[in-house]
Amino acid sequence: MKDNKLLAEYLGFEMCYAHGLIQDLKSRQIYRTESTLAYNYPYWQPNKDWNQLMMVVEKIEETGVCGIFSNLCSISEVKSDIDIKQCADTKIEAVYNACVEYIK
């Protein structure tokens, strides 16, 4: 998924597109982004995995204000006029969409 790769790039992950793998340079964790022969690595799916998505949220919180309320996520930065509000059917979907919009 294109937006999942966008979030990985935002986190500074190292990409290896030829093999469908990415690596978190801090933890040295390797993830796969598509079906590959490297079955022993977990998928990078922040659109479905709260632990992965929270890595993105924590980095955004370092630079601005991010609030999560039920199925609404708000990211606001007064100094840069950013005001993002995403509401969705599920909390993870709202947070994921807000993170993608913020990074774009």
> The domain that contains 58 carries what CATH number?
3.30.2120
DSSP-derived letter for residue 34 is: S
Domain count, the chain: 1
45 is in which domain, residue-wise? 2-103
Q: What is the mean pLDDT of residues 47-57?
A: 91
Partners of residue 69 on adjacent β-strands: 72
User: Tokens at residue 43, please?
Assistant: 């998928």
Report pLDDT for 38: 65
Q: What is the mean pLDDT of residues 28-57?
A: 86
| The model's pTM | 0.75
In this structure, what are the phi and psi dihedrals at residue 99, rounded to the nearest 5 degrees?
A: -65, -45
Report pLDDT for 69: 78
Q: What is the mean pLDDT of residues 79-86?
A: 83
Q: In what order do the strands lie in the sheet with 21-23?
A: 14-16, 21-23, 30-32
